[in-house]
Structure 1
Amino acid sequence: MRALRPIAVRALRPIAVRALRPIAVRALRPTAVRVPRSDGAKAVVAQPTRSRRQALNFRTMDDSSLARLGAGKYLLVTTYRKNGTPVATPVWVIRDGDTLGVWTAADSWKVRRVRNRADVLVGPCDLRGKPTGEQVPATAEICDPATTGRYRRLIARKYGIVGRLTLLGSRLRRRLDGTVGIRITLTS
């Protein structure tokens, strides 16, 4: 067991460094700076410039909604039941030209809801479906098998080994015709 410990430590070290880096950056950032005035009056307290995360968020706010949603890891797709009740589902997302692509099981409820009613709301979210930004209106349509295959390849490229393993498990369980792509076009 002791022989495995150095291997485990070496394997986990990059993960720990990535996890602790934001904490270290926050601790080193000054909260306020005293700036002396040239006329000899009392010093002014100046707030520091934007943090790195705020600067990144500011830049993404300047980009189009499509680029921001396509670059995110998860997309919250809100579809509507026949009675109008909204149902939000977090899914993986890829950008496909001027549209967004989603890949899901063909017999899932979200596919049935999209077939009944094409208008949806989309927005960024985390893994559990908690919204991290505002939702925008869009229309969704079920894709043909060729487009679904292209979405599989794009998901494998974007999500790396986790995406490839998920696609392999789905192919073994459902076959290729058991999944479908959904093309989402923003309306605003």
Structure 2
Amino acid sequence: MGLQELGSARYVSLTTFRKDGTPVATPVWAVADGGELYVWTRSDSWKVKRIRNDGRVTLAACDVRGRVEEGASVVEGRARLLDEEGLRRVRRLMSRKYTWQFWVVDVPAALARRGKRPHTAIAVKL
């Protein structure tokens, strides 16, 4: 499975690794652009903390509950956290791919937090 296939999947299982090497998989929205796969998540999530410690990740297409089909391709990658400019770019990419679903999630969250969006964008190079 390559970058374009992962980028077109509805959900991607992003596996990050704890300090002791234990894998932790999470289903996320993802979009491919410019040779990287981008993910958008809350800044206080454990996956952000794990990526800060170790950028090694694995990825596979999955369903909304994170179930990966038996025999599905799993690819390895290197993740990095993006700055505010990167987050704005990823937010635009996500809004194009996920359209109304993105706005149902993002806009009410921003209103509840008085305009603050506590999110982090993650770039993954396969």
Normalising by structure 2, report the TM-score: 0.92
Structure with the bigger RCO (C-alpha within 8 Å, sep 6+) is 2
Partner of 1:70: 7
Instruction: Provide, for residues 24-83 of structure 1, a one-character-per-residue CA deviation record: whole Å limited to 9, x for no partner.
Output: xxxxxxxxxxxxxxxxxxxxxxxxxxxxxxxxxxxxxxxx61110011111100000011
2:39 matches 1:99:
no
Partner of 1:183: 123
Does the Cα contact within 8 Å between 1:121 and 1:137 map onto a contact in 2? yes
Which runs of 5 or more structure 2 residues have no equivalent in the other structure?
none
Greater helix share, structure number: 1
Which runs of 5 or more structure 1 residues have no equivalent in the other structure?
1-63
Q: Aligned ranges for residues 37-186 of structure 1 at < 5 Å?
A: 65-132=2-69, 133-174=72-113, 175-176=116-117, 178-186=118-126
Q: Secondary structure at the match of 1:134?
A: coil
Instruction: Give the distance between the partners of 1:78 and 1:129, measured in 2 at CA.
Output: 10
Normalising by structure 1, report the TM-score: 0.62
Give the letter aligned to residue 106 of structure 1: S
| TM-fit CA distance, 1:115 | 0.3
| TM-fit CA distance, 1:170 | 2.8
Give the letter aligned to residue 130 of structure 1: R
Does the Cα contact within 8 Å between 1:92 and 1:103 map onto a contact in 2? yes
The structure with the larger Rg is 1
Q: Secondary structure at the match of 1:154?
A: helix
Instruction: Give the distance between the partners of 2:84 and 2:41, measured in 1 at CA.
Output: 13
Greater strand share, structure number: 2
Instruction: Give the distance between the partners of 1:85 and 1:117, measured in 2 at CA.
Output: 12
Q: Secondary structure at the match of 2:99?
A: helix
Does the Cα contact within 8 Å between 1:78 and 1:89 map onto a contact in 2? yes
Instruction: Give the distance between the partners of 1:104 and 1:150, measured in 2 at CA.
Output: 14
Q: Secondary structure at the match of 2:66?
A: coil
Does the Cα contact within 8 Å between 1:156 and 1:167 map onto a contact in 2? no
